Structure 1
C-alpha cells in the first residue's frame, strides 16, 4: 500500500513535516454499491452523490484544521482502482493513500502505519460519514497527541462505533478481536487500549450518517441550525448542504423523509 501524491500537492521534501497526519477513510462513489443503507429514501444515484459530497466535505474539514495547527490531510481510499475518482473530487492539498485490505481493521492499521512512514509524529484516522463533524474535534485530537508520552484519542460514534482514532505509535492490537460494524466497536477498542496500558482520551460523541435515522438528523442539523451536541460548533459542509438543497426540490424526497424542516428549507 502506498501514498499517491499528485503533482499539484505541495512538496514537503524540504519543508517541516506536519506533526499530525489525518486520513479520512473513504470509498469511491458507485451507485448501488455506495451508501446503500440510505436507499430508500434516497435513490442509488442520490446515495452515491451523497457519498461524494461527504468525501469532499471531510477533505475540506481536515484542511480547515490544518490551517490552524500542524496537520497534513489525506484520504485513505478504496477500491484500488479508485484513484481517478478522488483526484477529480479532492482539493490538491489532500494526498491519497491506497487502503485496500480484507478487513476494516487492516485498512485502519495500514493507513496509520503509512502516516508514520510519511514522517508524522501522530496519526489519526477519521471516517468520511460525518460531514458536520466539528473542526474543533480534529484540532483537539491533534493537540492531545502532541502531548508527551504514548497515548491515544478516540471519538465514539452514536451507533457504538467510532468516528476518529488517533495514536502516537502503531498499535496493531487496537484493531484485533473487534466486532466491526456493531455497537461494540468503541467499547472493545477502549478495552484493547486498556490491555496495552495505553492512555486514551475520549472525545465527545458524534454521529455517522450511515442509515435513515442519521440522515434525518443531518438534514435537520443543516436546515434547522440544530447542533447535534451542545457547546460544539458543527462544521458547515458546503457540498452536502448544496446537494440536499437541490434534492429538496423533490417533494417525494421530502415526503419520504417526513421532515417539516425539509419542506421549509425548499420553500
Structure 2
C-alpha cells in the first residue's frame, strides 16, 4: 500500500524557547508545557488517523540531542526526522525530501500549533496527494498555512518566502500555478501562536462555533491541552509541570 507521511514540524519543548509569543500572559515554563500538550494531542490524533494503514506519523524535530524528551510525547510507533539547517523554507523543503526518501508516496508537514485540525482535512489531502502530483494547502487565519502536502519535491514553493507574514499562503499558490502545479485546498484552520489565537483555541475546545470553520467540521480532540488549560484556570490546582529543561548533554549536541 502506498503511504503518506504526516509530520509534525516542531521544536522539542523547552522553557524560554517554546511559544515565546505567548509570554506574557503565560510564563516561559507554561509556554513549554502548552507546546508539549499540542504535540502530544496532535501526535495521538495522527496515530488514530494512521489506523487504515495509509498514513504514517512522524515528528520533523529540532534540536538534535532532544530525541528522548520528545519521544515521551509521542505514541509508538512514530518516526523522528531531524530538521535540516537553514530558514523555514529550507527546512520544509528538506523535510519533504527526507520524508519521501523514506519510501512514502506523499508527505504532509503540519504545524505543531494546530492540535484540533479536523481529521477530514488530512484525509482529503492524502486522497489528493496519492492520486496526482499536486500541492495541498490548509490556509491559516494569519495568511500562512497550517499544513502543506506534496507528492514530490517542489523547492520553488519554499525559496525566498517572506515567512511569518500574511503573504505566505497567497505567494505559495501563485508560485505553484506559475510552475503548472495543481493546487488543492482544505478548509481554513488556525495556528495558536499569540493571545488572540489562544482565545480561538479556548472557544474551539469549549465547542463554540468558529466563524471560519465549515459547518459540521469534526475537530479532532485535544484532551491533554484541554486538561492543561483547565488546570491553569483553576487557581486551586497548579498546572502540571513536566521537565522541559534541556540537559547539559543535549545542549552540547544542539551546539
TM (normalized to structure 2)?
A: 0.88
Aligned pairs for 1:14-29 within 5 A: 18-29=2-13
Q: Which residue of 1 aligns with 2:204?
A: 221
Q: Does the aligned pair in 1 maintain the 2:109–2:149 contact within 8 Å? A: yes
CA apart distance, 1:68: 3.6
What is the CA-CA distance between 1:135 and the residue it aligns to? 1.2
* 1:244 paired to 2:200: no
On the 8 A contact 1:80/1:100 being kept in 2, the answer is no
Contact 1:79/1:100 (8 A) holds in 2:
no
Q: Which residue of the partner structure matches residue 130 of structure 2?
A: 146
Cα drift, residue 223 of structure 1:
2.3
Which one has more relative contact order, counting CA pairs under 8 Å at least 6 apart?
2
Alpha-carbon distance in 2 for matches of 1:126, 1:245: 26
Structure-2 change in CA distance of 1:150 and 1:197 (3 Å): same
Distance 1:221 1:150 in 2: 33
Deviation, 1:177, is 2.4
Please tell me whether the aligned partners of residues 64 and 135 of structure 1 are also in contact (alpha carbons under 8 angstroms): no
Does the 8 Å contact 1:77/1:100 carry over to 2?
no
Match of 1:117 among 92, 95, 101: 101
Residue 51 of structure 1 aligns to a residue whose secondary structure is helix
Give deviations 1:96-153, integer Å, cap 9, x for gaps. 0000312111111111111111111111111110111111111111011122x31110
Matches within 5 A, 1:79-158: 79-147=63-131, 149-158=132-141
Match of 1:53 among 37, 53, 61: 37
Q: C-alpha displacement at 1:19, in angstroms?
A: 1.6
Gaps of 5+ in 1: 1-15, 254-267
Counterpart of 1:210 in structure 2 is 193
Task: Give the 3-state SS of the residue equivalent to 2:174 in structure 1.
Answer: helix
d(CA) in 2 for partners of 1:208, 1:69? 27
What SS class does the counterpart of residue 40 from structure 1 fall into? Answer: coil
Q: Distance in 2 between matches of 1:46 and 1:231?
A: 32
Aligned residues: 235
Return 5+ residue gaps in structure 2 as ranges. 239-255
Dislocated runs of 4+, deviation >6 Å:
none
Check whether the contact 1:25–1:128 (CA below 8 A) recurs between aligned residues.
yes
TM-score, scaled to structure 1: 0.84
User: Corresponding residue for 2:152?
Assistant: 169
Shift of 1:243: 0.7
Q: What is the rounded CA distance, in whole Å, between the counterparts of 2:58 and 2:207 in structure 1?
A: 31
Please report the RMSD computed on the Cα atoms of aligned residues, expressed in angstroms. Answer: 1.6
Query: Paired residue for 2:173?
Result: 190
The Cα shift of 1:231 comes to 2.5
Q: Distance in 2 between matches of 1:221 and 1:189?
A: 28
1:233 aligns with 2:186: no
